[in-house]
């Protein structure tokens, strides 16, 4: 049994590295996720300090918890009116990038690697178009991008994560039910997401009004955490998508001002909302920091397939960049963002969402999940390197760097 003092020491080192890594990222634009993953690889498969097999039974639950916290924070920190106002071009970008990438990658791995079609699509949904807000948003604000471009990238990172999660659970649900009739499968999936959305909206609205009366009480954040879990459990029990319910629950809470029209009288929750956002940001950062180290711990090193997996991942990232080029050309057509096209294309860093989905696939005992996890880790590392190179090029070609400007749209890290 591993000594508790040793575990606490490791956790302390991880958190300190995470904090310092975030400061390093803010100064250099180099994503700190890469260092956390490599730290996990050193502690796990290289030194075997924390064996992979002892972590896997609980890692699925931890991955689910991390995803729920990030989804709630994403919903809480997304302004509905801003998304509607500036989301048209970002939506076009996401639809082309995510759907096309998922389809092409699914087809390629099915054709050349011989994977089952649904398994291929499950894997493709993990890496087919997510851009991590934790890297893209702060980095884009520090580069010589126009404010409209920063808002565009912010909205894109929010929406493509949602698309990836929805597609993953759709394909995973179809696989788990062994459905052969795609029409009935799509109907079932639609019903699942319909129940998830309805549950999130209903509980979110109810909780907004309850919080209005409890906002001067202590421990409202703890109580809100309980409601997040209630939302997930209730939606799942009713046959809905629990993850989507949590996202909608956060959206309802973060956009409480839309309910002012229905309530006659003083209705101001801005201080409470700010407090909830601060707490949730800290919790999300804590879980993300630990999660990326755990991702490295689960990495499997087989010298005979390292080169093969790396080559496959390079091909996948090449596909992503090609599709992203097309999507950016279309979404920025006749737009003032045209001059930032190269920067937009290279802002392709992936992060928490594909990693979490890969862990969940492992927990669901989907065949080839080990291969999914290894390839996803490679893709995360390579896309973050591409984004770091893109940041260097943007700074080099952009002349003097403008100071960070406030942007109307804000979304949590993913």
- DSSP strands (E only) in 268-367: none
pLDDT at 100: 96
pLDDT at 178: 65
pLDDT at 186: 66
Question: Domain limits of the chain?
Answer: 4-397
pLDDT at 107: 95
Residues 314, 382: Cα–Cα separation, whole Å: 7
pLDDT per residue over 257-269, tens digit each? 777 666 665 667 7
pLDDT at 93: 93
The label of the residue with tokens 């409202």 reads 220
- Exposed (0-12), middle (13-18) or buried (19+): which is 372, by Cβ within 10 Å? buried
Q: List the chain pLDDT tens, one digit each, 414 residues.
A: 557 787 788 888 888 888 888 888 777 767 777 788 888 888 888 887 777 777 766 777 777 787 788 778 777 766 766 556 556 888 899 999 999 999 999 999 999 999 999 899 999 999 998 888 777 777 777 777 777 787 788 778 877 887 888 888 888 877 877 655 566 656 666 777 788 889 999 998 888 888 878 877 777 888 888 999 999 999 988 888 787 788 888 888 888 777 766 666 566 777 777 777 788 778 878 887 887 788 788 777 777 778 888 999 999 999 999 999 999 999 988 888 888 888 899 999 888 889 889 888 988 888 898 889 889 989 988 998 898 888 877 766 654 444 444 444 444 445
* Residue among 72, 91, 84 at smallest CA distance from 160: 91
pLDDT at 99: 93
pLDDT at 390: 82
CATH 1.20.1530.20 fits 4-397, yes or no: yes
pLDDT at 281: 78
pLDDT at 182: 61
Residues 100, 37: Cα–Cα separation, whole Å: 28
pTM as predicted: 0.75
Residues 56, 403: Cα–Cα separation, whole Å: 44
Answer whether 126's CB lies under 8 Å from 372's CB. yes
Residues 107, 120: Cα–Cα separation, whole Å: 7
Residues 414, 403: Cα–Cα separation, whole Å: 24
pLDDT per residue over 174-199, tens digit each? 787 765 556 665 666 677 778 888 99
Residues 124, 98: Cα–Cα separation, whole Å: 10
For residue 115, the number of C-alpha atoms closer than 13 Å in the C-beta half-sphere is: 21
pLDDT at 402: 47
Residues 49, 47: Cα–Cα separation, whole Å: 5
Torsional class of 333: left (φ above 0), alpha (ψ -120 to 50), beta (otherwise): beta
């Amino acid at each position: 049994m591993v000594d508790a003092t040793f575990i606490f020491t490791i956790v302390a080192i991880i958190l300190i590295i995470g904090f310092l890594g975030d400061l390093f990222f803010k100064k250099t634009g180099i994503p700190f996720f890469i260092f956390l993953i490599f730290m996990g690889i050193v502690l796990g498969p290289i030194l075997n300090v924390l064996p992979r097999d002892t972590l896997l039974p609980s890692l699925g639950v931890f991955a689910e918890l991390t995803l729920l916290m990030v989804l709630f924070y994403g919903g809480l920190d997304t302004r509905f009116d801003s998304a509607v106002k500036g989301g048209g071009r970002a939506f076009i970008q996401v639809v082309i990038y995510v759907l096309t990438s998922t389809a092409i990658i699914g087809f390629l791995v099915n054709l050349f690697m011989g994977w089952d079609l649904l398994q291929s699509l499950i894997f493709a949904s993990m890496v087919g178009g997510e851009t991590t807000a934790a890297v893209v948003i702060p980095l884009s604000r520090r580069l010589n991008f126009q404010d409209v471009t920063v808002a565009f990238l912010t909205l894109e990172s929010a929406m493509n994560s949602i698309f990836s999660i929805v597609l993953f659970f759709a394909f995973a649900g179809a696989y788990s039910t062994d459905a052969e009739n795609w029409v009935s499968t799509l109907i079932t999936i639609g019903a699942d997401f319909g129940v998830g959305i309805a549950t999130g909206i209903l509980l979110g609205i109810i909780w907004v009004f309850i919080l209005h009366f409890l906002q001067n009480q202590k421990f409202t954040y703890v109580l809100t955490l309980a409601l997040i879990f209630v939302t997930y459990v209730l939606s799942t029990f009713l046959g809905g998508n629990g993850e989507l319910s949590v996202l909608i629950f956060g959206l309802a809470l973060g956009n409480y001002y839309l309910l002012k029209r229905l309530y006659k009288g003083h209705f101001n929750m801005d201080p409470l909302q700010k407090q909830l956002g601060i707490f949730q940001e800290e919790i999300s950062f804590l879980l993300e920091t630990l999660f990326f180290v755990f991702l490295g711990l689960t990495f499997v090193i087989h010298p005979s397939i390292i080169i093969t997996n790396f080559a496959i991942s390079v091909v996948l990232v090449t596909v992503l960049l090609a599709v992203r080029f097309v999507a950016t050309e279309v979404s920025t057509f006749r737009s003032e963002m045209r001059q930032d096209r190269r920067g937009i294309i290279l802002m392709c860093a992936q992060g928490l969402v594909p990693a979490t989905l890969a862990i969940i696939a492992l927990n669901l005992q989907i065949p080839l999940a080990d291969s999914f996890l290894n390839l996803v880790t490679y893709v995360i590392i390579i896309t973050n390197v591409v984004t770091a190179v893109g940041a260097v090029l943007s700074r080099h070609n952009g002349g003097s760097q403008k100071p960070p400007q406030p942007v109307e749209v804000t979304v949590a890290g993913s």
